[in-house]
Amino acid sequence: MLKAFSKRNVLSITILVLMICMGTVVATAAPKLRVVSSISGGKTPEESKLFAKEVGEALGLDVEWIHPSGDDYLQTAMRGGERFDLIYLNTPFMDVLVDQGALTPLTDFIASSPILSDPTVIPTEEWEMLRYPDGQIYSVFNKYEGGTLPTVRADWLEKLGLDVPETLDEFYTVLKAFRDMGPDIYGLSTAGLYDIQGFMGAFGVKARYVIDEDGRRTIPYASDAAIPAFEWLNKLYKEGLLDPNFVTNSTAEMRNLFLADRVGMVTYWDMWVGLFNSMRQQDDPDTEFRAMGIAGPVGPNGERILRRGDPSIWAIPANARNPEGAKKFLEFWHTEAGITLGSVGVKDYDYVVKADGTMELTEIGKAHNMDHGVPRWYNSNVKAPFGSLPGVKESEVFINQYGSLEISTADWPRAEKIVEDYAFQAITGKMAADTAVKKMREELLKAKLIDY
């Protein structure tokens, strides 16, 4: 029988076997999913590999998790032709990509998803934050964002016998008292204009764009109403109450000053009230350090304006190779398993499950503060396994009461450079506040970044 086979038969069988083998490989190999996130994932490259492995096992995919250290990576990579299946971004950059037609519409997917369309997972009204004038939604939430507000050393207030400040004058008194506690202590530190909204709000000034009913854009920081706000901040700067390095501070540098007892107040996220407290308590369980979020100064009209955070979001590029895999991830991310991974971290690395079924953080997990991109989430069916960090719930009350979203539009990245330039000159006294605001407005008008 074997002698009857011709060379052609043998060749055909060989090819067939190879095809079967190749087919088996193709059938069993997990599809690739390329994810880029500067926030979610591991804290180191090695941990990001563990994170990717965990996601891959949950989804049945081969996951490449890219965790860049710089904020410009994604824009540079996409401009260079890199293709990703899922990208983490903020709303200003999303505005740009939507304007360019570079993102996949997800409206129908969200509506048909039994997970994402569930109002107990994500409240229905929240989706309106992501809906564009064309009716489409191009992204899915990464987490519940919270907002920013002044955060003060409550233990210092008690030590100095001071009440929580309510008015601008009271804030000035508190910041001055903090400065006078030592030669290397400042009353207030910020990371540039991030985020001075609590103080600007006392003058009725809101950050970024305001768009009227006729669609005309203005930037309140470039309005006359902002002049006394910049003058008040300049007063803090001149008298050494405001950290002189605020213009160049990164958020990490600002946070470190606060943790190192170098400044009594910062302007940052409500979630970080709890993280500040947790980090100091881990270093020293007997510490007197106590961070507390406060509402910010009240304006003459009795109102306050705080900032609710821009949604941090996931989007699928229009040229994604594996959009279906990306959609599987988006659903997984809002389940208990995804939330546990995004908050507590990787099992048997950040935490272990004990014999009685309860979770216990490892030393590494404690250092990570239950934040791998999702310190808080929308899904009301998933309870925090270790409760809330100290001070966060109290801060949320102020965000819910006074916080509102800022409007970016695709033009904001260009406008922001002009706003920052003149705002810094006004606050540092390099230019009179009224002159700085006038020039800011003129330049924005000339660049057609505002309409009046």
Same domain? 125 vs 200 = no
Asked whether 407 and 210 are in contact (CB, 8 A), the reply is yes
**What DSSP state is assigned to residue 351?**
E
Same domain? 161 vs 141 = no
pLDDT digits (tens, 9 = 90+) for 130-156: 999 899 999 999 999 899 999 999 999
- Considering the domain boundaries, does residue 384 fall inside one? no
Beta bridge partners of 33: 63
Same domain? 189 vs 297 = yes
Query: Given this model, what pLDDT does residue 423 score?
Result: 98
Q: Measure the CA–CA gap between 445 and 352, rounded to whole angstroms.
A: 57
Q: Measure the CA–CA gap between 409 and 400, rounded to whole angstroms.
A: 24
Domain boundary among 364, 379, 394: 379
Same domain? 111 vs 72 = yes
Q: Measure the CA–CA gap between 41 and 39, rounded to whole angstroms.
A: 7
Domain boundary among 320, 345, 379: 379
Kindly indicate the confidence band of residue 300, based on its pLDDT and cuts at 50, 70 and 90: confident
- Considering the domain boundaries, does residue 286 fall inside one? yes
**What DSSP state is assigned to residue 30?**
P
Could you give the 3-state DSSP secondary structure of residue 306?
Answer: strand
Average pLDDT over residues 407-411: 85
225 CB-contact burial (10 Å; exposed 0-12 / middle 13-18 / buried 19+)? middle
Asked whether 226 and 200 are in contact (CB, 8 A), the reply is yes
Same domain? 278 vs 291 = yes
Average pLDDT over residues 199-226: 95
Q: Measure the CA–CA gap between 67 and 35, rounded to whole angstroms.
A: 8
- Considering the domain boundaries, does residue 46 fall inside one? yes
Same domain? 94 vs 128 = yes
Same domain? 304 vs 314 = no
User: Is 80 exceeded by the pLDDT of residue 331?
Assistant: yes
CA 101 to chain centre: 23
Nearest to 147 by CA among 195, 188, 192, 187: 195
User: Is 70 exceeded by the pLDDT of residue 24?
Assistant: no
- Considering the domain boundaries, does residue 102 fall inside one? yes
Lowest mean pLDDT among 17-21, 162-166, 199-203, 340-344: 17-21
Q: Measure the CA–CA gap between 167 and 202, rounded to whole angstroms.
A: 8
Nearest to 139 by CA among 165, 102, 188: 102
Same domain? 298 vs 166 = yes
Kindly indicate the confidence band of residue 407, based on its pLDDT and cuts at 50, 70 and 90: confident
Q: At which residue do the structure tokens 């540039």 appear?
A: 192
User: Is 80 exceeded by the pLDDT of residue 335?
Assistant: yes
Kindly indicate the confidence band of residue 12, based on its pLDDT and cuts at 50, 70 and 90: very low
Q: Measure the CA–CA gap between 304 and 197, rounded to whole angstroms.
A: 10
Asked whether 33 and 335 are in contact (CB, 8 A), the reply is no
Domain boundary among 326, 347, 379: 379
User: Is 90 exceeded by the pLDDT of residue 190?
Assistant: yes
CATH number at residue 339: 3.40.190.10
Nearest to 277 by CA among 251, 295, 259, 253: 259
pLDDT digits (tens, 9 = 90+) for 84-99: 999 999 888 898 899 9
What tokens does 414 get?
């260009």
Same domain? 200 vs 255 = yes
Same domain? 114 vs 159 = no
- Considering the domain boundaries, does residue 55 fall inside one? yes
Same domain? 157 vs 302 = yes
Query: Given this model, what pLDDT does residue 90 score?
Result: 86
User: Is 70 exceeded by the pLDDT of residue 17?
Assistant: no
- Considering the domain boundaries, does residue 52 fall inside one? yes
Lowest mean pLDDT among 70-79, 120-129, 248-257: 70-79
User: Is 80 exceeded by the pLDDT of residue 260?
Assistant: yes
C-alpha angle with apex 388: 367 to 57, nearest 5 degrees? 60
Q: How many CB atoms lie within 10 A of CB 79?
A: 8
Nearest to 287 by CA among 248, 316, 259: 259
Average pLDDT over residues 155-163: 98
Using the Cα atoms of residue 330, residue 331, residue 337 and residue 339 in order, give the sign of their dihedral: positive
Peptide bond preceding 224: is omega within 30 degrees of 0, i.e. cis? no
Q: Considering its fold, how many domains does the chain have in total?
A: 2
Q: Give the amino acid at 25.
A: V
Q: Measure the CA–CA gap between 258 and 279, rounded to whole angstroms.
A: 12
Q: Measure the CA–CA gap between 165 and 243, rounded to whole angstroms.
A: 19
- Considering the domain boundaries, does residue 20 fall inside one? no
Q: Measure the CA–CA gap between 290 and 58, rounded to whole angstroms.
A: 39
Q: Give the amino acid at 202.
A: A
Q: Measure the CA–CA gap between 388 and 242, rounded to whole angstroms.
A: 31
Q: What is the mean pLDDT of the chain?
A: 91
- Considering the domain boundaries, does residue 14 fall inside one? no
Q: How many CA atoms lie within 13 A of 407 on its CB side?
A: 15
Same domain? 243 vs 350 = no
Average pLDDT over residues 348-376: 93
Lowest mean pLDDT among 71-80, 232-241, 435-444: 71-80
Q: Which domain holds residue 71?
A: 32-145+310-379
User: Is 70 exceeded by the pLDDT of residue 175?
Assistant: yes
The 3-class secondary structure across 122-169, one letter per residue, is CCHHHHHHCECCCCCECCEECCCCCEEEEEEEHHHHHHHCCCCCCCHH
Kindly indicate the confidence band of residue 70, based on its pLDDT and cuts at 50, 70 and 90: low
Query: Given this model, what pLDDT does residue 2 score?
Result: 36
Q: What is the pTM of this model?
A: 0.76
User: Is 90 exceeded by the pLDDT of residue 301?
Assistant: no
**What DSSP state is assigned to residue 117?**
T
Give the relative orientation of helices 412-428 and 433-446 as an angle to the nearest 10 degrees.
160
User: Is 60 exceeded by the pLDDT of residue 54?
Assistant: yes
User: Is 50 exceeded by the pLDDT of residue 28?
Assistant: no
User: Is 60 exceeded by the pLDDT of residue 395?
Assistant: yes
Average pLDDT over residues 200-204: 96
